[in-house]
Amino acid sequence: MMVKAGNPLNRSAAHLLHRAGQRAADIFSEESRAGGLTPRQFAVLVAVSEEEGLTQTELVERTGIDRSTLADIVARLLSRGMIQRRRAKDDGRAYAIKLSAQGAKALREAQPGAAAADTRLLASLPPAKRQDFLDTLNLIVKADDE
């Protein structure tokens, strides 16, 4: 879909980021079809694989996914047997999340598709601008953390 150059939406960072996010999710789905994971489920599995025992609050901090959405993702991953949870040692009210063997397998199987999705997304940019693009996105994300 081509958007006219004079369209004010072409100058709206919020709108363009939303559209880019939609495109990224579509490409991720196409490339990772076999694994059956959404981009957010994949992000949660990656975060848990990097640091076992994270609480849901810590997963919110690591992934940027809002609490209610993360709770839904955790419930879905639990029902699919991809993660396990137990009461956190430091806080009996919180749950510590651990990757199951099935979750580790799903993550391994999804990684090539996720990498292919990133490659496809960045392919639309000139090679010299790809790292700048990622750095700029990180600046936007980190500004929200501060």
Alpha-carbon torsion angle 37, 41, 45, 51, nearest 10: 170
The fold for domain 34-115 equals Arc Repressor Mutant, subunit A (1.10.10)
Q: Does residue 143 surpass a pLDDT of 80?
A: yes
pLDDT tens by residue, 109-142: 999 999 999 999 999 999 999 999 999 999 998 8
27-82 residue pLDDT tens: 999 998 767 899 999 999 999 999 988 998 999 999 999 999 999 999 999 999 99
CA distances for 50 relative to 88, 97, 103, angstroms: 17, 12, 13
pTM: 0.85
What's the rounded Cα separation, in Å, for the pair 82 and 104?
A: 7
